[in-house]
Amino acid sequence: MSENVRSYQELTCKPLDTYEEILGFLQDPPPWRTLCTELRQHSDQAIRNKDINKDFGETFLETPQTFCHYKSETEVKLIKRHEIKKLPKTLVCHDLANGYHDDSIIDGTNNHEAYTFYNWGGIDIFCYFSHHLVTIPPLGWINVGHAHGVKVIGTLITEWGEGAAFWEKILESDIEIQNFASALVAIAKTLKFDGWLLNVENKISKPSKLIEFVRLLHSVLHQELVDPVLLWYDSVTVDGHLNWQNGLNNKNRAFFEACDGIFTNYSWSVGDVEASAAAAGDRLTDVYIGIDVWGRNFYGGGQFNTQEAVKVAHSHGCSLAIFAPAWTHEALSDDSCDVNVPADEVCATYDQFLLRDRVLWGSLWPFLNTKLPCMLPFSTSFCRGQGQKRRIYGEVICPGPWYNLRHMQYQPNCSHGPHGYLLSVLENIIAVSRHGILNNKAGIVRCRRSLESSRMKMSIKDIKKIVNKDTSDNLTIIDEDGTIIEVDNTLTVEDKVEVQEQHVEQKPEKTRKVSDVFRYLFKIKLPKEAEIQPDDESEPNLNKTSTKSMIQTSLNLRLGQNTHKLRLALIPVPDELECLEPFFEDSFIGGSCLKVNPSDKIDTSHRLTRMFHCNFYFEKAVLACVVTKTLADARQQYLNIELRAIDSTGRELKIVLIGRDGPKAHAIGLSSPGILYAYPLNSASDPGFRDIQKYMLLNEPGFYVPVENSYGWKVRYYAVSLEDARVLSVDCRTGSEVGPILLGHFGLCSRSDDGDAEKTYQL
């Protein structure tokens, strides 16, 4: 083997496909193991997202809830926290074209539009899935998951006759069972990930031995790792038959009792979830209901209607196992990625992914919980691990596109809201997508409410109430199968719906170019209409040995299952802006930053934007760093950061870090009890700045960033006395209600010494 090939292989994360490779891993583990990082501690409390909005009630796709900003000042309140161990958990099972693509290259690639996941604040476990025998999570996923307090697990999967033969070998003796269990534990411990998903998709001749193996693996994992996770996938039963139960029952309970939880198959009914919840007893949150985002033979049809299934699991108190949410990226039409398409069109494809991903996770967010960062120092430049260029302190160090998950930084955990899109059934979208209706807040609100009240089809009377005017422009849509349709907007509403219905019967030839502003970014791969029928609930014989062929699988199919699938369509609303928008044209550190939009053409009200729910404890004082940059069309804009805290007596406090230069440190602006306005300490001649600079360089050198900057970024530091208190949220608000500003970096650090009281703001 050449040195170049060997070097490339050493810099690539790979699965293990044979038992010999597993044993070889232990003898010669990959060199990148030294780059793996430990799980970063987060608070033992969390926020139930449904507690954030008072009007939680019934949640509809057409009217997504607001988590990214406060609708009014009266909404500003501290949100109740709950013991995280008592809350249902959310697992993401990442399956993207059998895995190991750009994400497996240690040093990254130049494919800056490769898939990334950034909704870390709402999940607890990340499982990297493929159909290789042993799926080892790539380095980037381990590190970025751990940075966000998320456990990362690998997958052991066996299938078909080959899988049956594998288990015949493993289960033939206690020594083999012990060796294999020890090997899996050693792999996880060496690479610092947190456990395994066990997926046995083949018949087993010695099911009692398999249960023994699961018990042993669970025991050794918990001896060698800190708070690991071992999950069993609902596949083979305790009789040794491959027969998915779609829930927890006597056919798989022994596996459930031998590990930390069960991940159910996806073809469940509401009754299955109800029965599983009852069967779980006091281990209710250890039942992870399988949620297939692709919607294959799945309740509600998945995709943009995945919320419907999540509601069922949530209502019964079960945990979630969200499978393949990268559907938002993978299902984009390959036609739009033609190498002959100009670069700006390719970028538009990635914009489609960002919108689709935001729509999907925005619909699920009300049913999740938010983890709370608690370790200090805390800092982030908001990079998503990719970009068109890479920068350090604003200076370009890599002039070309890049992708490397290892360089993703901490992401906001409350950024979802109803900005920039409408979602409803296809017929409704066609009916209301006429010029004028999307140009003002009142029209958007009326439209969303009308869509919500008529899930299946709006009446012509309702449509005419919200349509403002006609237009002669044609409407371009993308139907479920990716086919382009041109709808003449001079037609009546009734005619438009008729045109769409005619299209269903005779589809025109596909068109590549889409230039109209109304793009339907939705493509569906039809689900397979098959569901596995569970066996009866008789007590199984755990010691029974199967004598049937190990190649044949035992399946009971129930065909023609009604999955209640809705045909949904998505339309962007260009003038409705995200509160915190990822910005790839510039960055302070990495490949992107945040563009803070204080308002937009649809909603001109001045937003108070949420950034982080958190739980940072300060013994004596807070040091803060905020880095911003103005844009050409809003040079006078500035950004205030608001820290909401509570002290040991329960008193609520608010510290406003003013985003512009002001009075000296001794000039403290107090508007009312419990509120302080702190100005930056940035002048080299200011004793207060020199004091905190010295402290950071000596005690927290990794937290400090230079104040001097030649690339338009303004670095500001703040020092505030905050004794025995916790910062529970970080919000931001611009000085002016119009015009965006870039937020390139934010950090908090605790100062434990006394410092100089004259140089620190007192509250």
Mean pLDDT value of segment 686-701: 92
- Look up residue 695 and give its DSSP letter: H
Domain boundaries, the chain: 3-104+117-370, 421-525+564-572, 580-759
Which amino acid belongs to residue 411? Q
Under the banding of pLDDT at 50, 70 and 90, the label for residue 575 is confident
End-to-end CA distance of the chain: 66
Question: Nearest to residue 64, comparing CAs of 356, 309, 359, 439?
Answer: 359
43-92 pLDDT, tens digit per residue, is 999 999 999 987 666 667 778 889 999 877 767 888 999 999 999 999 99
* pTM of structure: 0.86
**Residue 528 pLDDT > 50:** no
At 62, phi and psi to the nearest 5? -70, -25
Helical residues (DSSP H) of 540-658, grouped into ranges: none
Helix ranges (DSSP H) in 107-226: 139-147, 160-170, 174-191, 207-224
* 330 within 8 A of 353, measured Cβ to Cβ: no
Residue 426 · residue 499 · CB < 8 Å: no
Q: Which two tokens stand for residue 534?
A: 């569970």
Which CATH number does 580-759 carry? 2.60.120
| Residue 211 CB-density burial (10 A; 0-12 exposed, 13-18 middle, 19+ buried) | buried
Tell me the pLDDT tens digit for each residue of 189-216: 999 999 999 999 999 999 999 999 999 9
| Residues 57 and 44: beta-carbon distance below 8 Å | no
Cα–Cα distances in Å, from 302 out to 274, 306, 308, 358?
A: 20, 4, 8, 15
Classified as helix, coil or strand, 353 is helix
Output the pLDDT for position 423.
86
DSSP state of 617: E
CA-atom Rg of the chain in angstroms: 27
Residue 487 has pLDDT above 50, yes or no: no
Phi, psi (5° rounding) for residue 517? -65, -25
Q: Is beta strand 134-135 parallel, antiparallel or unpaired with respect to 287-292? A: unpaired
What mean pLDDT do residues 245-252 have? 98
Q: Would you say residue 509 has pLDDT above 60?
A: no
Q: How much of the chain is helix, strand and coil, in % rounded to 5?
A: 30, 25, 45
**Measuring CA to CA, which residue among 653, 488, 531 is closest to residue 272?**
531
Per the structure block, which two tokens stand in for 475? 């409407």
User: What is the phi/psi pair of residue 443, to 5°?
Assistant: -65, -40
What's the CA gap between 741 and 456, in Å, rounded? 41
- The SS3 assignment for 189 reads helix
Q: Is pLDDT at 98 greater than 90 in this prediction?
A: yes
Distance in angstroms (rounded) separating the CA atoms of residues 1 and 175: 34
For 568, list phi and psi in degrees, rounded to 5: -105, 150
Range 3-104+117-370 classified under CATH 3.20.20.80: yes
Q: How many CB atoms lie within 10 A of CB 254?
A: 19
